[in-house]
C-alpha cells in the first residue's frame, strides 16, 4: 500500500500525463484535416473525459474514498 503523500503525487503525475495526451490528441484533430467544426465533438468528449479523470483523482487521492462504499 502506498502512503497518502505517494498516492497524491503519483495520481497527480498520472492525471497530468493523461491530460496532456488527451488535449494533444484533440488539438491535433482540430488543427488537421477535420478543422475546428469537425474537431469540436472531439473537444467536447476530451473535456468530459478530463473532468472524469480529475474527479476520480480528487475522490481517490485527495478525499481518500476507494469507490467501494468504504472510506479507504
Q: What is the pTM of this model?
A: 0.81
**Of the candidates 42, 45, 44, 53, which has an alpha carbon nearest to the alpha carbon of residue 19?**
53
Q: Is the pLDDT of residue 52 over 70?
A: yes
End-to-end Cα separation, the chain, in angstroms: 11
Q: Which tens digits make up the pLDDT trace of 9-42? A: 999 999 999 999 999 999 999 998 888 888 899 9
How many CA atoms lie less than 13 Å away from 66 in the CB half-sphere? 7
Q: Is the pLDDT of residue 63 over 60?
A: yes
DSSP, residue by residue, 56-69: HHIIIIIS-B-SSS
Amino acid at each position: 500500500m502506498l502512503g497518502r503523500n505517494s498516492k497524491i503525487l503519483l495520481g497527480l503525475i498520472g492525471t497530468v500525463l493523461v491530460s496532456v495526451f488527451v488535449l494533444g490528441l484533440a488539438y491535433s484533430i482540430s488543427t488537421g484535416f477535420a478543422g475546428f467544426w469537425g474537431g469540436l465533438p472531439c473537444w467536447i468528449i476530451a473535456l468530459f473525459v478530463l473532468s472524469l479523470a480529475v474527479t476520480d483523482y480528487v475522490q481517490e487521492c485527495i478525499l481518500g474514498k476507494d469507490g467501494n462504499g468504504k472510506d479507504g
